[in-house]
Chain A
Amino acid sequence: MDTQKDQVTIELNDTRLEARQGQMLIEVADANGVSIPRFCYHKKLSVSANCRMCLVEVENAPKMLPACATPVTDGMKAWTKSPKAIAAQKSVMEFLLINHPLDCPVCDQGGECDLQEMALGYGGDTSRYTEGKRIIKEKDYGSLVSTEMSRCIHCTRCVRFGVEIAGIPEIGGTGRGDHMQIGTYVQKALSSELSGNIIDLCPVGALLSKPFLFSARSWELKSVPGVAPHDAVGSNIQIQTRNGKVMRVIPQENEAVNEIWISDRDRFSYLALDSEDRVTQPMVRNSDGQLVETDWQSALEAAVNGMKMVASTDGGGALGALASPSSTTEEFYLLQKLMRGLGSNSVDHRLRQQDFSGQSDQIAPQLGTTLQQIEQQNAVLIVGSDIQREQPLLSHRIRKAALSGAAVSTVNPDGIEFNFPLSGEVVTDQLTPALSAIARAMVDMGMGGDLSGLSALVADANVEPAHQAVAESLIGGEKAMVLMGEIAYRDQNQAVIYALTGAIASMSGATFSVLTEGANALGGLLAGAVPHRDTADATVDSVGMDVASMVDMAPKGLLLMGIEAESDLAAGPAAADAIRKSEFVVSLSTFADSVTMGKSDVILPLAAFTESSGTFVNAEGEWQSFGGAVAPKGEARPGWKILRVMGTMANLDGFDYNSSEDVLSEVRGLCDQAETEKWSWSALSDLGDASSCTVASTPIYQVDSLVRRSEPLQQTPLAHAGQATTGGAE
């Protein structure tokens, strides 16, 4: 495109500005710091031009024009604050206010309300309207969003959000004129996994956070930046606190990660922080088998002594450690350092994975591109993933690609539906044969490379038209990606599926993306919290026990970090049994689940994500650090501090850190040195048997201990839909 030809010069408020042909006047104004009042315009939504607040004067136009819907042309002259423009803006403000309740003192939006703010500049101090105001009965949108529709100014941002972003047109306008109402028509709870974003979009107090309702005023809140701990996107958030208590979580804009959105999971999981079963005191099991509260010193001594005892009697190899995939990189690093210091390589965080036979080939499963680049893809293949529920905002990028014409296809079990159109679908419970057939189609099209161990499997595959179509769309896509999700990752034949998916990506020249669960699985791998690799992919002398082996063999000494065995591990009840069989169990716990409370010999209260500093490495490989927003609850302490002291008490070297930044710079330094040479997935080796049995993905509001305890999330239709359509791993 000829940029010279594209460029236009306009005069805005008598200042010459450069702009692109076709840009809307309001965009040019925003880019140049000229403020134009607006309600319906939003940079992430389509233009609707209905609020009329952005009316401005344009030379030679017979009337005021809306800046949001007026494309700039060369030589255009516009005035945003001329007497005519101001008069139009003030008249619109008067119209907006005549039916607005003006109940700001009892409205949660007060203090962060666009209408309130604009009214200061454009509203009158008295009203000429003396009739009764319009009253609309509030609507029940479910447990997350509260409504006060009499305050609605009909900007339709929420309506457009449903259609354009969430992909579920749940809200619309019914009725005409003065009788127009925004609502769901038939009363129902919102079912989008992104529904909470309409709270931020609503420029007035019509849509509010239900859990936050009437609990604080916006100006009382202190905002601390954070990173959401539920998926591999690493959505940026603001944790808002008052008097040391988290009051709410809102998104922090970061175009490269979450744009301006967060999922409902990210927004409402904070509600679990004050659950009654929070662990707030160190506890030690006494000789009667009773857990008794104690001080940190005694608890840590008991923990370290117990573990050293196991190591001295049965060798370090008898110790094992399991950590939540949403632990921080610092925690992962210190955990593996502690365990390896005690002589054990048995550290793992891949809790729902079942097949570890391919782990040595899977160096660092990750996105392989940037989140923003996903939007540019022409072809995407999703393998074994309920991506919309697994990684909501990554899925949003795929949706954007699909809406701008990308061919998105899936190889998935039955019953998984997305909010974007699919160009091809292979529905199967057996991922291996389906993937083999796609690979075979590619080989038949002359795309074959060295398939080594997969050769026989691929040669035997039966290619059907659906497989052929997927192969063609990937090969035809100039920018293509093959994305392996949680369902595939947890399959009992993960190694074969991983290799096949990688081969398909490689043959078609596509980016190979692997998405793992939790907020920091990549951080766990890089930090070395895996049995087969040390930090930064360094080799280990002997491979330790992975999750499955630990469940099978029940190590004599177990260190658990942020885990609820029955819900967090693929093996569930079997994992709980293994823990019960273990001789000595130390739990770093945020919540008191029955297995932890029933078995642990020492319980160390672990700070939650809002209470600890740390770093998450997202799917893209971006290291995002955050600080603690509030002090830990009760006697709880950040994981890195607990592990640091345990290391020191165990007389291990190299645990003299003063801050989490010290830990971070050590692990980051190691990874940075290693990154350039080795971080790729390696060649395929012999993979053996290929019978396939798929496990379901975890329902969206069951993924971790926080979301499971967030009552409002559990009351959403999505929480129940998950239970109905997808069974557990058991």
Chain B
Amino acid sequence: MANQVCFRNNHLENSWTLAAYQSSGGYEAVKKILSEKTSPEELIDEIKLSALRGRGGAGFPTGLKWSFMPRNAPGQKYIVCNSDEGEPGTCKDRDILRYNPHQLIEGMLIAGYCIGASAGYNYIRGEFWEPYSRFEVALEEARAAGLLGDNILDSGFDFQLHSHLGAGAYVCGEETALLNSIEGKKGQPRFKPPFPAGFGLYGRPTTINNTESLASIPVILSKGGQWFLDQGLPNAGGEKLFSVSGHVNRPGNYEVPMGTPFSELLEMAGGVRDGHQLKAVIPGGSSTPVVPGDQMMGINMDYDSIASAGSMLGAGSVIVMDETTCMPRVLARLAYFYYEESCGQCTPCREGTGWLSRVTQRIEDGNGAQADIDLLDSVAGNIEGNTICALGDAAAMPVRSFLKHYRDEFQHHIDHKQCMVTSDW
């Protein structure tokens, strides 16, 4: 089975419209909840049962996260959707916003209801102009239909939802930098504690979920937590969107059950481009460790299986590389990305990402010294775990994994001042 959760409506004509969404049972879940006044605890239990884990990359159980909110505490609380999909290799949330925006709105409504928030923000990546406009239209439709605003469907429940377009900083995908950005401050992560559930947007209790996580909620509640759990694995339920990119014949987003073998996913994407062999895969987005192709062919697309190969499922952004790929060149490009995107707030990341970028680039350029490989590994190790947010780790993990698996290619670059592979790109 495939395309049963976030992409369940993509086959419909103009699937992004309210009419199309409602034709497939859209907004029924929230209507039922509001008319029956289902208790939030009951809903959260259902989500816990579904074993839905955060789709943004960290994989934290969504139901558990919601239960941390002081939902009965007085004062304003917020639900924030993280649609700042900036991880290189990821494009799944973009397609939810483009093809199924109402399901996200419904998910945020239910989330607001569960955590006691009467306002929500959807923070959309700055480059996503088309998805942003489409989401704005969907918001207008929902407001006009009385599905957003005060006293929704005469239930006494108020919920205001706004979208906020970012300005193009990768780091604003980090949840606390995202909150600062909404507040109009510089997009720099906050140190934790305090955590957003206690001190979030404008200092109020806030829950931040990924777009895909929130868009999965209406399906879970209409089909049941058990159904969702059954689609996936006992500790990670449901289907999950995978963005497959790189050297495949049919790059794109694929919604398949959690635990689907990588080989099947690769086949859905048309296999490695014709005439080439699989060399390496970055399974969860550019910040997750690279896995050699032959190893990857033996594992499944779920948290535990990928972890056993020393990497992470992340946001499910599968970057496929064939044998023509020069690994030092890939790493130089990735290191440059993190160097440019570091916010500059804390020392190891501000200084370290630049250092990594310069050393990887000089190896790529054929100017590397013998000591550089160990230097890179050591500098990456010194960044890892010592920063305010995970961007430092994200910059360090590719370096260490590339060196672990492809050290010979780096050595070749240093010894011979040229690539080990013949690249045709």
A residues contacting B by CB (< 8 A) are 47-53, 55, 62-64, 66, 69, 71, 88, 91-92, 94-96, 98-99, 128-129, 131, 153-154, 172-173, 175-180
Which 3 residue pairs across A and B have the least CB separation, nearest first? A180-B344, A91-B382, A177-B342
Selected from A71, A153, A173, A177, the residue in CB contact (under 8 A) with B353 is A177
A499 to chain B, nearest CB (A): 45
Nearest B residue (CB) for A91 = B382
The answer on a CB contact under 8 Å between A52 and B344 is no
Measured between beta carbons, the chain A residues less than 8 angstroms from B351 are 95-96, 98-99, 178
Selected from B341, B342, B347, B388, the residue in CB contact (under 8 A) with A92 is B347
Does residue B348 face the partner (Cβ distance < 8 Å to A)?
A: yes
The answer on a CB contact under 8 Å between B339 and A177 is yes
Does residue B75 face the partner (Cβ distance < 8 Å to A)?
A: no
The distance in angstroms between the C-alpha atoms of A131 and B363, with both chains bound, is 13
Selected from B342, B345, B355, the residue in CB contact (under 8 A) with A98 is B355
Measured between beta carbons, the chain A residues less than 8 angstroms from B352 are 95
Selected from A49, A95, A96, A172, the residue in CB contact (under 8 A) with B191 is A49
Measured between beta carbons, the chain B residues less than 8 angstroms from A178 are 339, 342, 344, 350-351, 353-354
The distance in angstroms between the C-alpha atoms of A125 and B134, with both chains bound, is 58
The answer on a CB contact under 8 Å between A96 and B347 is yes
Does residue B193 face the partner (Cβ distance < 8 Å to A)?
A: yes
Known: A177-B341, A178-B342. A91 touches B348 (CB 8 A): yes
Q: Which of B172-215 contact A (CB under 8 A)?
A: 186, 191, 193
Nearest A residue (CB) for B378 = A128
The answer on a CB contact under 8 Å between B191 and A176 is no
A389 to chain B, nearest CB (A): 30
13 A–B pairs (Cβ distance < 8 Å), ordered by A = A49-B388, A50-B388, A53-B347, A64-B386, A94-B382, A96-B351, A176-B342, A177-B341, A177-B342, A177-B344, A178-B342, A178-B351, A180-B350
B399 to chain A, nearest CB (A): 15
Does residue B310 face the partner (Cβ distance < 8 Å to A)?
A: no
Known: A52-B386, A63-B386. A177 touches B346 (CB 8 A): no
A115 to chain B, nearest CB (A): 12
Measured between beta carbons, the chain A residues less than 8 angstroms from B346 are 49-52
What is the interface of chain B mostly: helix, strand, loop, or mixed? helix
Measured between beta carbons, the chain B residues less than 8 angstroms from A153 are 347
The distance in angstroms between the C-alpha atoms of A709 and B366, with both chains bound, is 62
The distance in angstroms between the C-alpha atoms of A42 and B348, with both chains bound, is 20
The distance in angstroms between the C-alpha atoms of A52 and B375, with both chains bound, is 21
Does residue B169 face the partner (Cβ distance < 8 Å to A)?
A: yes
> How many residues on B have C-beta within 8 angstroms of the other chain's C-beta atoms?
31
Does residue B358 face the partner (Cβ distance < 8 Å to A)?
A: yes
Measured between beta carbons, the chain B residues less than 8 angstroms from A95 are 347-348, 350-352, 355, 382
What is the interface of chain A mostly: helix, strand, loop, or mixed? loop
B192 to chain A, nearest CB (A): 9
Measured between beta carbons, the chain A residues less than 8 angstroms from B353 are 177-178
Measured between beta carbons, the chain A residues less than 8 angstroms from B339 are 177-178
Nearest A residue (CB) for B358 = A131
Measured between beta carbons, the chain B residues less than 8 angstroms from A92 are 347-348, 386
Measured between beta carbons, the chain A residues less than 8 angstroms from B342 are 176-178
The answer on a CB contact under 8 Å between A66 and B344 is no
Measured between beta carbons, the chain B residues less than 8 angstroms from A128 are 375, 378-379
Known: A52-B387, A64-B386, A98-B351. A179 touches B191 (CB 8 A): no
Known: A176-B169, A178-B350, A178-B351. A154 touches B344 (CB 8 A): yes
The answer on a CB contact under 8 Å between B385 and A177 is no
Tally of contacts, chain A with chain B, CB under 8 A: 92
Does residue B110 face the partner (Cβ distance < 8 Å to A)?
A: no
Measured between beta carbons, the chain A residues less than 8 angstroms from B388 are 49-50, 52
The distance in angstroms between the C-alpha atoms of A154 and B349, with both chains bound, is 12
Q: Which of B350-382 contact A (CB under 8 A)?
A: 350-355, 358, 375, 378-379, 382
The answer on a CB contact under 8 Å between A71 and B193 is yes
Does residue B80 face the partner (Cβ distance < 8 Å to A)?
A: no
Give the residue among A51, A63, A94, A175 with the most B Cβ atoms within 10 A.
Answer: A94
Selected from B350, B354, B386, the residue in CB contact (under 8 A) with A91 is B386
Does residue B414 face the partner (Cβ distance < 8 Å to A)?
A: no
Give the residue among B171, B343, B344 with the most A Cβ atoms within 10 A.
Answer: B344
Nearest B residue (CB) for A89 = B386
The distance in angstroms between the C-alpha atoms of A176 and B341, with both chains bound, is 7
Q: What 1/0 flags go to B30-62 for Cβ under 8 Å of A?
A: 000000000000000000000000000000000
Does residue B340 face the partner (Cβ distance < 8 Å to A)?
A: yes
Nearest A residue (CB) for B357 = A178
The distance in angstroms between the C-alpha atoms of A129 and B351, with both chains bound, is 11
Nearest B residue (CB) for A55 = B386
Nearest A residue (CB) for B352 = A95
The answer on a CB contact under 8 Å between A64 and B385 is yes
The answer on a CB contact under 8 Å between A88 and B191 is no
The distance in angstroms between the C-alpha atoms of A172 and B354, with both chains bound, is 22
Selected from A52, A172, A175, the residue in CB contact (under 8 A) with B348 is A52
The distance in angstroms between the C-alpha atoms of A240 and B351, with both chains bound, is 36
The answer on a CB contact under 8 Å between B186 and A173 is yes
Measured between beta carbons, the chain A residues less than 8 angstroms from B169 are 176
The distance in angstroms between the C-alpha atoms of A99 and B347, with both chains bound, is 11
B140 to chain A, nearest CB (A): 34
The answer on a CB contact under 8 Å between B347 and A175 is no
The distance in angstroms between the C-alpha atoms of A91 and B340, with both chains bound, is 21
A102 to chain B, nearest CB (A): 14
The answer on a CB contact under 8 Å between B386 and A50 is no
The answer on a CB contact under 8 Å between B355 and A131 is yes
The distance in angstroms between the C-alpha atoms of A71 and B198, with both chains bound, is 15
Give the residue among A50, A88, A128, A175 with the most B Cβ atoms within 10 A.
Answer: A50
Measured between beta carbons, the chain A residues less than 8 angstroms from B343 are 176-177, 180
Nearest A residue (CB) for B170 = A176
The answer on a CB contact under 8 Å between A154 and B350 is yes
Further 14 A-B residue pairs, CB within 8 A, beyond A96-B347, A154-B347, A178-B350 = A47-B191, A48-B191, A52-B348, A52-B388, A69-B191, A95-B352, A95-B382, A98-B351, A172-B186, A177-B342, A177-B354, A178-B351, A178-B354, A179-B344
